Amino acid sequence: MILETAAIAIGSVIATKALEKTTEKVTETLLDKTGKFLITLKKQSPHTVAAIEKAPEQPLDYGKAVLEVQSAAKANPEVAQAMQELAAAAKAEPNSKLAEILAMPNLEKLADKIGQVVMPGGTGNIENMSF
């Protein structure tokens, strides 16, 4: 569940950034939760925030980013709380374009694949996964 929440949180940040560059608007709640998540995560993992903020202009290794966010959330309850709040806000967001973007790489499938790779007995390399 935490992998899925981390994937949704990362996808939400990137989707929100992408929508800001268009005429599409997202709610203030989602913008606030996105900002809080990034600020909180930056304290724990500044390099991860830098990579997320560069996407989609620079390719993001989603698998690595999700694992880093998951690790930060496990180490810091404040990050975990901000991540959960952002994921909940994204799921409640009425903007249909956001829902489309979040469904593009099916985030649940992404989280499952990452989990399969990193679990004992899992095989493969996160960088080489296809979605």
Q: Where are the domains of the chain?
A: 2-117
Of the listed ranges 4-13, 38-47, 97-106, 111-120, the least confidently predicted one is 111-120
> What is the predicted pLDDT for the residue at 113?
52
> What is the predicted pLDDT for the residue at 59?
84
> What is the predicted pLDDT for the residue at 83?
96
Calpha distance 126→130 (Å, rounded): 9
Calpha distance 87→92 (Å, rounded): 9
Choice between 16 and 2, residue whose per-residue pLDDT is larger: 16
**What is the chain's mean pLDDT, rounded?**
80
- Residue position matching structure tokens 């979040």: 102
| pLDDT digits 0-9 by tens, 57-105 | 888 888 889 889 999 999 999 999 999 999 999 989 998 888 877 775 5
Calpha distance 20→18 (Å, rounded): 5
Q: Is 127 exposed, middle or buried (0-12, 13-18, 19+ CB in 10 A)?
A: exposed
Answer whether residue 19 shows pLDDT above 70.
yes
2-20 and 62-75 helices cross at what angle (nearest 10)? 120
> What is the predicted pLDDT for the residue at 60?
85
